[in-house]
Amino acid sequence: MLSRHLKEMQIKIAILHRFTLEQMTPFAAEIIGTMLLLLLGNGVVANVVLTQTKGHGGGWLLINFGYGLAVFTAVLVSMDFSGAHLNPAVTVGLALAGKFAWAQVAPYVLAQCIGAAIGNSLVYLIFRDHYAVTEDQGLKLATFSTSPAIRNNWSNLLSELIGTFVLVFAVLFITGPNFIASDPTVPAGLGSLGALPVALIVVVIGAGLGGTTGYAINPARDLGPRIMHSVLPIPNKGTSEWDYAWIPILGPLLGASLAAALFLVL
């Protein structure tokens, strides 16, 4: 009897999974995946830096591991539908390396920016009482977008460039000949290698290279939330630092381009 019920449940789950695969579009998957990335990733940041949270003062390593696990969750959810790019730099890098169609780049980037904005808006809703009692405007901005520890535009640009180079270069190699999908219709991307390796790459980038700029390494992760910081009614929020915003956009795109170029040469 129990075996029969388990078999029926498995059939229902399989039907539901197939229905979801047929209904979910890559555009929607990139929105949902990037939303989860920012909700969980910047949720960790908010929990660590905002006043009177349970996780206040948790430290840099908690943010590093939290963001890595946010990547893990986001990739796991969206990998079957879009390849789980979740990052314009990854999308552009894959396109430059010949692993993704250029016609799909703009829709993916748009979806990623929308998802990032939604995800960080949810962070604000969850922590709005803590934003109200946090006096430091810089800490409030840190829960949305990145800022440098020491402001030096060229050094900051180089930090974002190198961090993203490492991310995209590693992704391109892990998704190489030893990881070719058995189904040629499956889109190339982070999903083809599984969620865990990407999460670990993000953790080590944050721990090793992220202390200078906060390691955006993702234009959508910075731009979408920065827009929301500028429009949401956050008490005493201060400036959104738009004069810095070009660095976490240009740096990752340059890093991804260099990673793709070196990958093609090698």
Q: In this structure, are residues 159 and 55 in contact, taking their beta carbons and an 8 Å threshold? A: no
Tokens 């948790």, located at residue: 58
Find how far residue 99's CA is from the centre of its chain: 20
pLDDT at residue number 183: 52
Structure tokens at 117: 């904005």
Burial of 4 (0-12, 13-18, 19+ CB in 10 A): exposed
Residue type, 39: L
Residues counted in the chain = 266
The count of C-alpha atoms lying within 13 angstroms of the C-alpha of 91, restricted to the half-sphere facing its C-beta, is 26
Find how far residue 63's CA is from the centre of its chain: 14
Angle at which helix 153-174 crosses helix 195-209, to 10 degrees, equals 160
Angle at which helix 88-96 crosses helix 219-231, to 10 degrees, equals 150
Find how far residue 14's CA is from the centre of its chain: 29
pLDDT at residue number 14: 52
CA distance 209 to 211: 6
CA distance 116 to 225: 6
The count of C-alpha atoms lying within 13 angstroms of the C-alpha of 159, restricted to the half-sphere facing its C-beta, is 24
Query: What Rg value do the Cα atoms of the chain yield, rounded?
Result: 19
Cα torsion through 20, 26, 247, 210, rounded to 10:
40
Residue 238: count other Cβ atoms within 10 Å of its Cβ: 13
Structure tokens at 118: 């939604």
Span 25-265: which CATH code?
A: 1.20.1080.10
> Domain ranges in the chain?
25-265
Closest CA relative to residue 49, chosen from 136, 129, 145, 149: 136
Closest CA relative to residue 190, chosen from 34, 24, 39: 34
Residue 83: count other Cβ atoms within 10 Å of its Cβ: 29
pLDDT along the chain (266 residues), means of 10: 58 53 84 98 98 96 96 92 94 94 97 98 98 97 97 98 97 60 52 72 96 97 98 96 98 98 93
CA distance 226 to 234: 12
pLDDT at residue number 266: 86
Q: In this structure, are residues 212 and 155 in contact, taking their beta carbons and an 8 Å threshold? A: yes
Tokens 């979801």, located at residue: 20
